[in-house]
């Protein structure tokens, strides 16, 4: 599962990396959590890249209430074509989710409590999670709600000791094809594989990550006692 991630680069850097105009309201984030608005990059009706806000947690049109979204934060790559909620989106509603790290939790060797590990690229560069998106009309307000899910796959050798899943980080050269509706579902599925472990690093993060209220650069630094066990 991918339940928290970072997107800590400046808006200008995201725009340059993904070749898109990024909303001025985008700010560096160090503890992105479920149900929050996250940035997604997709193609508009003219085939141009578009950066937009999406709610994290897929909310299909048939969902009776918002609680369904918490069960759809992630979608398993291996079963996308089997699940009705995802099968129809795989063809034409694919999205890039800009990020520069994600968290998973391990048991501390010091006190037995859970502590976060942050995984990132070895050069701390921006990357894109593979995602799917959908929209629905809120029956009460009439508002159009656009939501997304992060696709996961089996872990690579770096992530495996900490968790049995990892988010799909797309190879950069595959990002445009992932967005392109002309790319078939069958071909798109071949993109959904573990990112090479040798291109990634892991590091202890602060336990303050455990609270979604905390969102600042200090979260990337381990707590003093945890650092001794690194």
List the chain pLDDT tens, one digit each, 230 residues.
Answer: 689 999 999 999 999 999 999 999 999 999 999 999 999 999 999 999 999 999 999 988 777 667 776 688 999 999 999 998 899 999 999 999 999 999 999 998 888 889 999 999 999 999 999 999 999 887 777 788 899 999 999 999 999 999 999 999 999 999 999 999 999 999 999 999 999 999 999 999 999 999 999 999 999 999 876 644 44
- Give the helix ranges, DSSP H, for 49-157: 84-87, 89-92
pLDDT confidence of residue 27: 97
Residue whose tokens read 């690579």? 156
pLDDT confidence of residue 101: 98
CB 92 within 8 A of CB 180: no
DSSP tally for the chain: helices H, then strands E:
6, 12
- Known catalytic membership, residue 2: yes
3-state DSSP assignment of residue 85 = helix
pLDDT confidence of residue 1: 67
Whole-angstrom distance, CA of residue 36 vs CA of residue 56:
6
Ramachandran angles phi, psi of 141, nearest 5°: -95, -20
CA-to-CA separations, 158 to 24, 119, 164, 204, in angstroms, rounded: 35, 9, 11, 13
3-state DSSP assignment of residue 13 = helix
Q: Are strands 5-7 and 101-107 parallel, antiparallel or unpaired?
A: antiparallel
Query: So where are the chain's domains?
Result: 5-215
- 21 CB neighbour count, 10 Å cutoff: 12
pLDDT confidence of residue 207: 95
- Known catalytic membership, residue 104: yes
Token digits for 85? 């909620």
The residue annotated as part of the active site, out of 12, 78, 82, 104, is: 104
Which CATH architecture does the domain made up of 5-215 adopt? Alpha-Beta Complex (3.90)
The residue annotated as part of the active site, out of 2, 153, 175, 183, is: 2
Sign of the torsion formed by the C-alpha atoms of 145, 209, 70 and 101: positive
3-state DSSP assignment of residue 120 = strand
């Amino acid at each position: 599962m991918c339940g928290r991630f970072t997107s800590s680069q400046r808006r200008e850097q995201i725009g340059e990396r993904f070749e898109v105009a990024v909303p001025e309201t985008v700010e560096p984030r160090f503890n992105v959590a479920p149900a929050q608005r996250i940035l997604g990059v997709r193609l508009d009706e003219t085939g141009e890249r578009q950066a937009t806000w999406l709610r994290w947690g897929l909310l299909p049109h048939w969902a009776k209430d918002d609680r369904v979204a918490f069960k759809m934060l992630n979608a398993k790559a291996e079963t996308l074509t089997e699940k009705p909620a995802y099968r129809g989106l795989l063809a034409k509603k694919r999205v890039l989710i800009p990020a520069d790290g994600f968290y998973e939790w391990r048991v501390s060797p010091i006190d037995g409590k859970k502590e976060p590990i942050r995984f990132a690229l070895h050069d701390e560069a921006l990357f894109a999670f593979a995602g799917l998106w959908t929209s629905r009309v809120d029956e009460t307000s009439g508002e159009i709600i656009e939501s997304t899910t992060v696709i996961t796959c089996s872990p690579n050798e770096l992530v495996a000791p900490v968790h049995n899943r990892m988010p799909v980080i797309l190879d950069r050269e595959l990002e445009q094809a992932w967005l392109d509706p002309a790319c078939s579902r069958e071909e798109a599925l071949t993109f959904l594989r573990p990112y090479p472990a040798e291109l990634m690093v892991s590091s202890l993060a602060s336990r303050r990550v455990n609270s979604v209220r905390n969102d600042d650069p200090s979260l990337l630094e381990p707590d003093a006692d945890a650092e001794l066990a690194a």
